[in-house]
Amino acid sequence: MHEPVPVNIWDAKGVLLLRKGETITSEQHRGVLLLHAPVVLASDWQALNYGYTASLDRMVRDNQALNRIAGLRALSASPAEVAARDAGVSVPEAWAELHATLAALLHQGASAHQFLERVLRVQSQGEQLWHDQADNSLLVLVQLLFDTRVSYSATHALLAAGLCALVAPLAGLDEKQRRALVLAALTMNLGMTREHDEMARQPGPLSSAQRKVVREHPQQSVALLRQLGVLDAEWIRLVAQHHEKPDGTGYPKGERVDRITHRLLQMADVYVACISPRKSRGALLSQQVARELYMGGHRAPDQLGALFVKSVGFYPPGSYVRLASGELGVVVRRGEKANEPRVAALVGRQGLPLGEPVLRDTADPTWAVAASLPPGEVKVIVNVDRLIARG
């Protein structure tokens, strides 16, 4: 950081993000760059690694100290590997790097290099983050759903996978089932990644061509996964059937599917889609979506839906609420009860932004949650890093 970059940095669409010689000015600047899945030209990468090899050879021939030689770095490590090595990386930075890796994999599709190895790394490091930092991970990824500058498809996949990881232990799934479930969540929309991003930003209804893509994407995703070397039968089956229903009214084949892993994947997929704002509609309120899952399709309490709500809450971290005090805030932690989260108040009862976020425990009736709010109703920029730092 604060050192000039040695090459031009581009995004996956060929837009120049950082010119050779410019510097990354802050951790926030670095995080924004990572969200755009930064890449360098193959020729630049080869030149840099040739330079690294030449420098290493020269240092050895000059008999320089081993600690200086060890400090010479090649530029071949992936962002996820860097995150794993760097003990000081923050939760938002870790998710930004995993998002960048996954966005690149999903957009590259059949041409992705070392797809299986890299997606397994995203799954492994992501599950560790969910295990160690569940509330902060929800805060980061739910907030990221509201950012139209980054790949919606990658955010959707990471959050859906995380929700599956949170609920799976309560549902009694073993390690093998959980792993296949999380990997399916990360890749279920592989067959329509670009269209997924476009539809999230599209102001009008889907065209007939887009509806065809949606209907066929489970099979397209399976075909790509097989082409990329995926052999896990349960992973493949979950992706193939993630839009099928118990009564046979789903798609693409109209199969009757009612396994716990299938239902949990579908719940996570539907939940993330519903709380995500679209150009064509606002986000549905998290409380409303949670209640729908809890009641199930037959308007009677659903056991798996109840576990989902118990794990996530009615108001997940990252979502917005109005308190009984009249304050508006963002949820930062789940509470002991599904309807009693910890909230950072951002806007006072007079409608003016607070100088600093104020933590409220909504188990206290004074600060009880009065309502969920769509993201557009809170006109304050949320600094996720500061909220996490405040605990």
pLDDT for 268 beyond 70 = yes
Q: What is the mean pLDDT of residues 271-287?
A: 84
d(CA 240, CA 286): 27
- Please name the residues in contact with 233: beta carbons below 8 A apart, sequence gap of 6 or more: none
- Give residue 72's pLDDT: 45
- Mapping DSSP to helix (H, G, I), strand (E, B) and coil, where does residue 210 land? helix
First vs last C-alpha separation in the chain: 26
**316 φ, ψ to 5°?**
-70, 150
**pLDDT category of residue 41 using cuts at 50, 70 and 90:** low
Q: Rounded mean pLDDT of the chain?
A: 86
Of residues 204 and 103, the one with the higher pLDDT is 103
Of residues 108 and 74, the one with the higher pLDDT is 108
**pLDDT category of residue 280 using cuts at 50, 70 and 90:** low
**pLDDT category of residue 265 using cuts at 50, 70 and 90:** very high
What is the widest separation between alpha-carbon atoms in the chain? 76
d(CA 64, CA 76): 23
Q: What is the mean pLDDT of residues 35-47?
A: 63
- Give residue 42's pLDDT: 54
- Give residue 33's pLDDT: 77
Q: What is the mean pLDDT of residues 44-54?
A: 50
Per residue in 306-351, pLDDT (tens digit) is: 999 999 999 999 999 999 999 999 999 999 999 999 999 999 999 9
**Domains of the chain and CATH, by start:** 9-70 (no CATH), 89-312 (1.10.3210.10), 320-390 (no CATH)
Per residue in 227-260, pLDDT (tens digit) is: 999 999 999 999 999 999 999 999 999 999 999 9
d(CA 80, CA 102): 10
pLDDT for 64 beyond 50 = yes
Which residues, in sequence order, are bridge partners of residue 360? 343
Beta strands, E only, 310-352: 320-323, 328-333, 342-347
Determine which helix (DSSP H) or strand (DSSP E) holds 156, and give its type and residue range: helix 152-167
Burial of 358 (0-12, 13-18, 19+ CB in 10 A): middle
